[in-house]
Amino acid sequence: MHRNTSFRWRHRFLDGVRHDQPERLAGIAEADEMFLLESQKGSRQLERPARKRGGVAHSRGISHQHDCILVARDRSGLTCSFVTGRAEVTARQLHRHLLPVLDPDVLLVTDGHHAYRRFAREARIAHAFVNLHEGERVRGAVHIQNVNAYHQRLRSWLSRFNGVASRYLPNYLGWRWALDGERIASPEGLLQRSIGIFHTQR
């Protein structure tokens, strides 16, 4: 099979997998973002000058050249992930992506980013945060270590693909969630889930 055909089939299957996320996160749910340099890999018409392999953003810090990946994970291990857009997450994006998957009685734990505080206030969601800028990492049950560990696994796993096009990121997020915790242990299992034989345990 030609590699281009293999690539197309991969994403045809993954398009089904990416929708298989938990319906609700309950109890204590952690949320945090990670950022990847946006990629137009495979595009015939670029929106910007081409970068060299392993390129960097033109400006320092988080900018509109970075894809924002929001990950929310409760203490039972259920995980939802979303590509919210470019640059830092906003309260509006949290309403769109995060609110539908949060149980009304959830305790949302985040860092001190203003978007989370505004979102929680507007959505009337119980909210606690750690102040990372002051060196606070853990305050009893209030921490985001589980979601940050998921970030590390996701980033390490994505590195094997030598760059993922931004338009395909949602597919890879679904694939990673399917593999996490050995929920799917074989290519056959991934195929079965992609065509709807199995569904996320809720």
> Can you give the pLDDT at residue 162?
83
Q: d(Cα 12, Cα 48) in Å, to the nearest integer?
A: 28
Q: Is 70 part of a structural domain of the chain? A: yes
Q: Give the integer Cα–Cα distance in Å for 77 and 61.
A: 30
pLDDT at 115: 98
Residue 48 located in a structural domain: no
Asked if the structure places residue 182 within a domain, the reply is no
pTM of the entire predicted model: 0.80
Tokens of 140: 């009893």
Domain membership flag for residue 90: yes
Q: 31: buried, middle or exposed (CB in 10 Å: 19+, 13-18, 0-12)?
A: buried
Is there a domain that residue 78 lies in? yes
Q: Looking at residue 39, what is its pLDDT?
A: 80
Please tell me the distance from the alpha carbon of residue 80 to that of residue 173, in angstroms, as a whole number: 9
Is 73:176 a contact under the CB 8 Å cutoff? no
Please list the ranges in the chain whose pLDDT falls under 70.
1-19, 40-60, 181-202
Is residue 144 within 8 Å of residue 109, measured between CB atoms?
yes
Measure the CA–CA gap between 190 and 202, rounded to whole angstroms: 18
Q: Is residue 47 part of a domain?
A: no
Q: By residue range, what is the domain housing residue 149?
A: 23-39+61-165
Number of domains in the chain: 1
Helix axes 187-194, 169-179, angle to 10 degrees: 120
CATH number of the domain residue 73 falls in: 3.30.420.10
